[in-house]
Amino acid sequence: MLTLGVETSCDETSVAVVDERMRILSNVIISQIDIHQQYGGVVPEIASRQHVANIMPVLDEAMRKAQIKITDIQQVAATTRPGLPGAVMVGRVFGDSLATALKVPFVGVNHLHGHIAGLKLSNPDLRPPMLCLLISGGHTAVYLLDDTWTTQLLCTTTDDAIGEAFDKVARVLGMPYPGGPKIARMADMTANFTPFISRSPKENFSYSGLKTAVLNYVNYEQQVGHSLNIPQICANFQYCAVEQLLCKIKVLLKKHHVQNLGICGGVAANQYLREQFTNLCDEQGVRLYLPRPELCGDNAAMIAAAALLGIK
């Protein structure tokens, strides 16, 4: 079954074609980062307008790269939640209308389920049950998946998501949006430092306190006339942010007796995080599944994959 995926939940306009064997025939993405950088973050109304302008050219390019005709499509899937309401609406209405015109089924997909499905695109041998850590700019959550790809939310964040914290700390340090990758590149993980936060939350995740600790440290250093050691601050923050994830996952792996762990979402591209979780899984005898870097961020291939897998 050739499935056309549509993703417009935030600031990427994407259309992809995935077949029933989970092979990506095309996965075209147009990012709006250059537009939103001048505002320091995504402006919802601008994002929606850009999706309207981009959606048809992206569809045409996806068809060209897949080397198929639009009438070959047998199913259309689009993100219907969560995301920026106006941006989501563009993709949902487009996908639903296209399915109606082609007289094929339309599948509404939860964007978060799309990220989980993206693991299957990178790891064909992946089979639940498993724990899945979803980490992005808007979400930080752990799901338990059974062998039918049914998800159970185990914990989430009480305030900021980890990716949001990366971006906000980067802004404090004078880095342009999106700041997460810049912190990762700047961080000197060989530096000696006292962690900003020494204890992880017992229940859900929380990144507001860590963000505030960095802000207070930067303000104090500037007030007393000290120059900022940016690589060391980035390393300290990155260590604390990842350590919270490691502590929580270690507990949940033991509690739920699972042997598979998947990590997905934009922050899953962070190399330091990948190394730390590889070490943890080696120690615990757990198999780790990671998406290919190009499939960590928002893309339509994962939306098509979620429809094919029937994640719920």
Q: Distance (Å, rounded) from C-alpha 64 to C-alpha 190?
A: 47
- Model confidence over 118-138: pLDDT tens digits? 999 999 999 999 999 999 999
Please compute the mean of the pLDDT values over residues 9-22 and round it to a whole number: 96
pLDDT at 51: 96
For the chain, give the percent of residues with pLDDT over 70. Answer: 100
pLDDT at 80: 97
**pTM: predicted TM-score of the whole model, two decimal places:** 0.93
pLDDT at 1: 86
For the chain, give the percent of residues with pLDDT over 90. Answer: 90
Looking at per-residue pLDDT, the higher value among 40 and 43 belongs to 43
pLDDT at 40: 82
Distances (CA, A) of 228 to 166, 207, 219, 274, 288: 18, 22, 10, 27, 36
pLDDT at 256: 95
Tokens (6 digits) for 309: 């897998």
In the predicted structure, residue 201 carries a pLDDT above the cut 80: no
In the predicted structure, residue 179 carries a pLDDT above the cut 90: no
- Model confidence over 224-255: pLDDT tens digits? 999 999 999 999 999 999 999 999 999 999 99
Please compute the mean of the pLDDT values over residues 88-117 and round it to a whole number: 98
In the predicted structure, residue 198 carries a pLDDT above the cut 80: no
With tokens 């399915």, the residue in question is 99
Greatest alpha-carbon span in the chain? 68
**For the chain, which residues make up each domain, given as ranges?**
3-122+295-309, 130-289
In the predicted structure, residue 200 carries a pLDDT above the cut 80: no
pLDDT at 165: 95
- Model confidence over 52-70: pLDDT tens digits? 999 999 999 999 999 999 9
Which residues lie across from 28 on neighbouring strands?
A: 15
pLDDT at 283: 96
pLDDT at 32: 87
- Give residue 96's pLDDT band: very low, low, confident or very high (50, 70, 90): very high
Would 3-122+295-309 and 130-289 be classified into the same CATH topology? yes
- Give residue 199's pLDDT band: very low, low, confident or very high (50, 70, 90): confident
In the predicted structure, residue 176 carries a pLDDT above the cut 80: yes
Q: Distance (Å, rounded) from C-alpha 70 to C-alpha 62?
A: 10
The CATH classification number of 3-122+295-309 equals 3.30.420.40
User: Count of alpha carbons within 13 Å of 120, Cβ hemisphere only?
Assistant: 29
Question: To the nearest whole number, what is the mean pLDDT of the chain?
Answer: 95
pLDDT at 178: 86
Q: Distance (Å, rounded) from C-alpha 258 to C-alpha 159?
A: 27
Number of CB atoms found within 10 A of residue 124's CB: 9
**What architecture is domain 130-289?**
2-Layer Sandwich (3.30)
The answer to whether 270 touches 184, Cβ cutoff 8 Å, is: yes
